[in-house]
Amino acid sequence: MSERLQTTKYGDDRLVKGLLSPYCARNWLVNFKLAAFLGVAFMRFVLVAVSVFALASCSLPRGAPIQSEIIGKEAEERSDLAVYRVSRETLSSISRWPSPNNSAAYSWPARGAPAADRAIRAFDRVDVTVWDSEEDSLLSSPGQNTVQMQSMQVSAAGTVFLPFVGTVHIAGMPHAAARTRIQRKYEEVIPSAQVQLNVQPGTRGAVSVVSGVSRPGPITMEDPDFTVLNAIATAGGPSARIDNPLVKLIRGNRSYRRPLEQVMANASYDVVLQPGDKVAVEEDKRYFRSLGAASREALIPFSKADISALDAMSMIGGLSDIRANPKGILILREYPSKAVRADNSGPDNTRSVFVIDLTTADGLFSAGKFSVHSQDTVLVTESSVASVSVLLDLLRKIAGTAVDVNKL
């Protein structure tokens, strides 16, 4: 009995020793790790599945809308929105539509013709020289044959006072006509009198360059063909701090505006100035908005007189390489109610969306001729592929794997 018990004891010892052998221990550790890995993988699978269902029930984070969200079937059926495709067929009619706001509605006076002889004005100064050959002259002293009356100011009523003649009205008269009138007045008392007249323009014959130039101030117009560009050049030219200068002309109770670029390019805009005109060079305050999958989201000021949609693409730094949909460039514009037309001479609705496709030659050429107006919104829609990339990236982070999306 004792021997059996001892054998059993030895057998148990051998069993324990077998279990504790290096081979069995290594197999046991492998099996344990495999079970742990399968458990973790199962938990990851469950977590990924839950995440997929959660993401399916909500919207993915995006920085821009997809094109179908703005101009899909639901949007096209709405009565408060008009959608237009920008192409060669539609450009001709769209270009004739009214301007959506007053910022681009420039007004400018006619150039005008320079006067053949500048008229004398109130507050001008005149020099009158009278030649008298008579021995007993009323004006000259013995041995003198000329009398000079210098720097006489023309009164507000347009008259000057001359000795032995009295008050003579000369305002509004050309130089030659005023000289003739003064001489006839003197011939009544001095038959041999000859008159010479010189005119110095006064403050009423000046224009003022108010701002936006190197040397603002009044400028006396001695040339009857003194124009806007002459005034700006005389004042030292436009300030270098103004990127897109705009010329403002104040004449009487009216104000006119025109980009300096257009004034310099078109001679008919270089108007002849009139006394009392005021000229200012200002910065063009027009802008458009850049939103969506663009390289730059901001208020973009106009850098020149006319901006096309293709220019706008360059000004915003182009499209985002991984997010943008080049087929869905949207120009959002709001027209005043008076601009709405039913005969194709204006938009169908105050709220209008213009769609540009940059993946075709017609779309690129049309974008180069489509004008962007002040306060337009240039929206670059996001590609649907970008949303898929976001989803895969989220799943990769959730699963904790190092899967490269680009290799899928």
Q: 58-77, pLDDT tens digit by residue? A: 555 566 788 888 887 766 66
Instruction: Please give the structure tokens belonging to residue 57.
Output: 């029930």
- Does 32 have pLDDT greater than 60? no
- Helix and strand element counts for the chain (H, E): 11, 18
- Return the number of other C-beta atoms located less than 10 Å from residue 380's C-beta: 28
Bridge-based pairing state of the strands 206-209 and 278-283: parallel
Helical (H) or strand (E) element with 24: helix 22-56
Residue 20 is predicted with a pLDDT of: 47
Q: In whole numbers, what is the pLDDT of the chain averaged over residues?
A: 81
Answer with the residue of higher pLDDT: 154 or 321: 154
Buried b (16+ CB within 10 A) or exposed e, 7-34: eeeeeeeeeeeeeeeeeeeeeeeeeeee
C-beta of residue 380 within 8 angstroms of C-beta of residue 324: yes
pLDDT (0 to 100) of residue 363: 95
Q: Is the pLDDT of residue 25 over 60?
A: no
Q: Work out the pLDDT band at 404, boundaries 50, 70, 90.
A: very low
**CA atoms within a 13 Å half-sphere pointing along the CA-CB vector of 1:** 0
State residue 56's pLDDT score: 47
355 is written with which tokens?
A: 């769609």
Say which residue, 239 or 36, is predicted with more confidence.
239
- Which pLDDT tens digit goes with each residue over 180-209? 999 999 888 888 888 999 988 776 678 999
Confidence class for position 178, pLDDT limits 50, 70, 90: very high
Please report, as a single letter, which amino acid is at residue 51.
S
Lowest mean pLDDT among 14-28, 97-111, 263-277, 331-345: 14-28
Evaluate if residue 378 carries a pLDDT over 90. Answer: yes
Mean pLDDT of 111-129: 82
User: pLDDT value at position 57?
Assistant: 46
Check residue 9 and give its pLDDT: 45
Write down the pLDDT at residue 41: 52
